[in-house]
Each structure stands twice: as C-alpha cells, then as structure tokens.
Amino acid sequence: MSNVVVIGAGQAGSSLVAKLRNSGFEGQITLIGQEAAPPYQRPPLSKKYLLGEMALERLYLRPESFYSENGIDLRLNAQVIAIDREGREVHVGEDRLPYDHLVMTTGSTPRRLPAAIGGDLDGVFVVRDLKDVDAMAPRFAPGRHVLIVGGGYIGLEAAAVAASKGLKVTLVEMADRILQRVAAPETSDYFRTLHKSHGVDIREGLGLETLLGDGSVTGARLSDGSELVVDFVIVGVGITPATGLAEMSGLMIENGIKVNELGQTSDPAIWAAGDCASFPYNGGRARLESVPNAIDMAECVAENIMGAGKTYVPQPWFWSDQYDVKLQIAGLNTGYDRIVTRPGDAEGATSFWYYKGAQLLAVDAMNEPRAYMVGKRLIDAGKSPDPDAVADPATELKTLLRG
C-alpha cells in the first residue's frame, strides 16, 4: 500500500491530503508542518485577521479533527532535517519516515531587509504567517506612524488596514509606481488615488537608505536624504520560493522546484505544488503565487499520485481587498500591449482589460464582479472579444460570451 509524505502544511499541502482521501486513497498519509497551528488561510492575515475581524479558528482551512478523522498523521512544530532519496526516507528530528511518494508544498518565504540597513531591528516586520501578524498587531494603535516598504499588494493591504485603524501611514516604493511589477499603470493610478483619499502618504521612485534606531527601529532615512520618525516598519518587497530543502536534496531548481506537466520533480518519486513549484506553461515555465494555484496544482498532483496522468493547466485568478474595494484579477497580463478601460455601474467601479494584439490576456476588476466573471470565462475558453465592444458601456457584458 502506497505511503505519501507531504512537507509543508499550508494551503497546497492541506488541499493535497484532503484530495487524496476524498478520492479514495487508502495508503498512509503524513502531513508535516513547521508551525504550531494546523493548516490555515494566509490571505486574511493582512486583512480581516489583522483588523481583528476574524478569529484564529476561522482561519483554519479545516477543523483540526479532520486530519485524525481521515487517518492523516498531522505533525506540527516539526522540522525536516533531510531527505534520503536513495532510501526514500524523510528525516524529521530523530524519526525516519518512509515514503513511496514525497510531495514538496513548502511555499515561499518573504524577502527581508538586510541587517546592514537595520533589517534586524526590533519593530521591523514581514507579513507571512501567524507569528508575524500576532507580533505586529499590538502596534496598530491610532496615531502611531508606520512605514511600509514596498508598493505591491501585501504592502498596500497592510497600508489599508493601518489607515483604517487610524495610524499615520507612509509607503515607499523604489519603482516608478506602485504595483509596477504586476499591473498596468491604470490599476496603479486607481489604487494610488484610493490610498491617498484615506490619508496614506505614497512616495514612488524612492528607496529606503537605512532604518534608524538602537535595538529598536525609531526612524528611517530615504534615498532622497529625508528622514522619518516611525514607530514600526512593515516590509513587503516580495517573496522567494522555499527551495532550500529541495536544493539540499539535489532536485532541479528553475525559479522554484522544477516540475513536469504532471507535477513531478527531477526525481519521479518526488512531486511539488504551490508557490514553491515552477511548471511548463505556454512554451516556457511559470510559477504562480496564489491560493487558487496552490489548491488546483495540489489536487492535480494528488490525482496523478493515484495514476491519473493529468497535465496541470492553470486558470489563474487572484484577488486583493483594500478598504471597501475588492480587486479581482483573471488571467496573466504578461506581454500585454493595450489596455481597454470599461467603466463600472457604481461609483468607483471599473475594469481594465489587457490585450496583446487581438488576444485578451487578463482583466483587473475593481468592485466589478460581473466584469471579472465574464472576463475569466472568456480567458478560460480562449475567447477574445472585440476591444471596442468591451470599452462601450452600452455593450451588455454577457453578450461578449457569445462570440
């Protein structure tokens, strides 16, 4: 009987073991997690959980009892020391866990500021896990000044929470504009305007030179020579795939753990899924940092462990909540050369449609769920509506699906 060991008890790991059991897998399953908490949602950490609007138990992906009830050996607070590929064993402390199939769902790790510029000072935080958010939450008191380094979605979500709780917020982004790596200028403009309307001081094209303080952060010097007095700092400058264990084990790495179309690594007995894995996509390779990808890829790998031989084909979608705006994104905008704007029905609602020539690549929808849903269906079906029809407010969205 097959024995599956899964390293990484996040969204992908939890989804994979659940899919195995729900699909009738009768072998032994072990799920190994570094944290003390059972698998939980991460997106609410920088939103509702940080705002105090979501209790810890509501973060859990499944009740803790789910694992024991389904014969899944959930090992928390556990550290994998090594993988013996030849002997097919995972070393967890003093234990040796045999496997027929090993799955890496190790996720990603946040980039931190170098110690040389104050990154190791007390009061400097990243937003990645429960420990991070629980540590910073008490500092979210009205009137305090928080510096946010990085104008991606994590930084902007943290800024929205801080501003909503009455803090003074300064956000610095080294690039020319916020969201430059992931979105069109139109989307950047939308969110810049939104944050400024809530009092956030956004400074673009400006880097952090150094943090100031003796033991604890008290200020920051920016690349233009200006200095700020701050109470704490949140760093949101991206994440990197957690590949250390895979590298140590001699697996092939290419912007993450390299897998084939089935999710297998360079060792056929070892699989990978989620943030940590890069997979074949459109003639190249891709790695997606999203909850839907973690779930879909993990479930595909679970099916393939059971012999399905199923190619993983992502259908990317993402979301972000900031203040009362819900951003929903369908598709991948890489290579776009034209943006089509479609006004929404309500005030502040709009959508931006990314085209490459005549091909629709992606849609950013702000408080426009219908535009998002129609755009996603079109992209998933490989259909590209006429850009002029999309831009015309008189065009009924649902008619775009008929083309």
On whether the CB atoms of residues 375 and 360 are closer than 8 A, the answer is: yes
Instruction: Walk me through the domains of the chain, giving residue ranges and CATH numbers.
Output: 3-109+239-305 (3.50.50.60), 112-235 (3.50.50.60), 324-402 (3.30.390.30)
3-34 burial: b if 16+ Cβ within 10 Å, else e: ebbbbbbbbbbbbbbbbbbeeebeebbbbbbb
Residue 282's pLDDT is 86
Mean pLDDT of successive 10-residue stretches along the chain, which has 403 residues? 94 98 97 97 90 92 96 97 98 96 97 97 96 95 98 96 97 98 97 98 98 98 98 96 98 98 98 98 93 97 98 94 97 96 93 98 98 97 96 95 83
CA distance 209 to 172: 11
Taking the CA atoms of residue 39, residue 41, residue 46 and residue 48 in that order, the dihedral angle to the nearest 10 degrees is: -120
Say which amino acid occupies 167. Answer: L
Residue 46's pLDDT is 85
How far is residue 363 CA from its own chain's centroid?
A: 18
Residue 402's pLDDT is 87
Q: Which two tokens stand for residue 244?
A: 């250390």
